[in-house]
Structure 1
């Protein structure tokens, strides 16, 4: 709590304000400005160097769920989440110091780094859950996905750039579980309220089963790196 108060005071000093949870996607402030700027991918690469310490040069994060895969995510989603963190509308004390304007720049830098990340090829071998296709747990997760998630996240977890629904296919299982539980339990304040309502009845087993299915959904082949050994040439 003390840390959050410190960050909130810092945000006020930067002219940033925390939005109420009900304002899920009003597209104000830096989010709106960044979305309307033409991105400079070269600057995005330079900005991403700060991010690469945790999310790795390839943008693949960690399969233990500590850090998410960012590579291949929709640019609009990346902009929204980064702007929300800077506005203290999404709690992320670990990332916040690295996302400050003094560290990476203003809305132009948000636009630039989001464009760079969105173009990175995705990890073809993300961290998976324990249940393979054909198991009862896999089938249960698939049915939960069809009944609850398809309308927003699409048939194959591709999300929607236009509607700010994230690409969840191929994301690390353990990261998905943590975020889903935080959304269900009200800990992630910038979550879509429609999703919060939709998943209130999910048990912890339901959560693991549906996200085991999600993590195993495959992005299009052209979005994947050639192998899990691929290294980002921009950071050789």
Structure 2
């Protein structure tokens, strides 16, 4: 039997509440390493040492890869990094590629979580992140302003206090993958508000809004000069 777009839309509409429940279970659980790390004072030198493990994938500058294999981490909010790292270690967020590198045996305990999060947050951001095709930006802007501004802000700056990530300057292909996983119930630590907000987004909507987001620029003071190399690893 051929499944039409109308039938698929109906199936997704009925499935959305189930997917949302699965995807949002434990969105921001308190306790454990997250709370412990949040209460610590960062050690810059240990942050550098800890980040060296992370740099194997996220690159020495913290800029990830434009193909979206690895996200840009540079400039991200401290609380967001702590939450995501703690969630991966607690297996509340599925990331089999990162998990072996994030274990305490590799990078240390809650102190190292705080140290590396604080270090990453101070790295200047990529001046040339990967962007989308640019063919539906008017729709993307409308969708962003109607659905995303309340949490992610006018320019994609997010909120450290509320654990909302910066999404400006992020690679388009990474944004697409995470949006798909959140919308389709694959990312278990997703914010339930976002799951509900984007449940009805079509693939066209998704591509348009994330193309627009990928072109949002952080404040100029947060962006590195072209050709910048992290001096902490410039051996």
Quick check: 2:60–2:233 contact (8 Å CA) kept in 1? yes
Superposition deviation, residue 110 in structure 1: 0.1
Deviation at 1:152, TM superposition (A): 0.3
Bigger relative contact order, structure 1 or 2, given CA contacts below 8 A and separation 6+?
2
Count, aligned residues: 213
- On the 8 A contact 1:169/1:214 being kept in 2, the answer is yes
Look up the match of 1:191: 190
2:9 alignment counterpart: none
Gaps of 5+ in 2: 1-22
Alignment partners' CA distance in 1, 2:232 and 2:26: 37
Query: What does residue 9 of structure 1 align with?
Result: none
* 1:35 match: 38
Does 2:138 correspond to 1:139? yes
Aligned to 2:232: 234
Q: Cα deviations across residues 134-171 of structure 1 (Å, max 9, x unaligned)?
A: x5x10100000000000000011000000000000010
- Which of structure 1's runs of 4+ aligned residues deviate more than 2 A? 20-23
CA distance in 2, matches of 1:21, 1:27: 14
CA contact (8 A) 2:26 2:188 kept: no
Decide which of 71, 74, 81 is 1:71's aligned counterpart: 74
Matches within 5 A, 1:80-229: 80-131=83-134, 137-227=136-226, 229=227
CA distance in 1, matches of 2:233, 2:30: 33
Deviation at 1:226, TM superposition (A): 1.1
User: How far is the alpha carbon of 1:23 from its aligned partner?
Assistant: 2.5
Q: Which residue of 1 aligns with 2:14?
A: none
Report the Cα distance in structure 2 between the residues aligned to 1:138 and 1:124, rounded to whole angstroms.
Answer: 20
* TM-score, structure 1 as length reference: 0.89
After TM superposition, give the deviation of residue 24 of structure 1 in Å.
1.2
Whole-angstrom distance in 1 between the partners of 2:25 and 2:89: 18
- Deviation track 1:187-229 (CA, whole Å, cap 9, x = no partner) reads 00000011001100000111010000001000000000011x1
Checking the alignment, whether the CA contact within 8 Å between 2:26 and 2:92 is kept in structure 1 is no
Stretches of structure 1 that go unaligned for 5 or more consecutive residues are 1-19
CA RMSD of aligned residues (A): 1.2
SS at match of 2:163: coil
Aligned-partner SS, 2:170:
coil
**Residues 21 and 191, structure 1, Cα contact 8 Å, conserved in 2:** yes
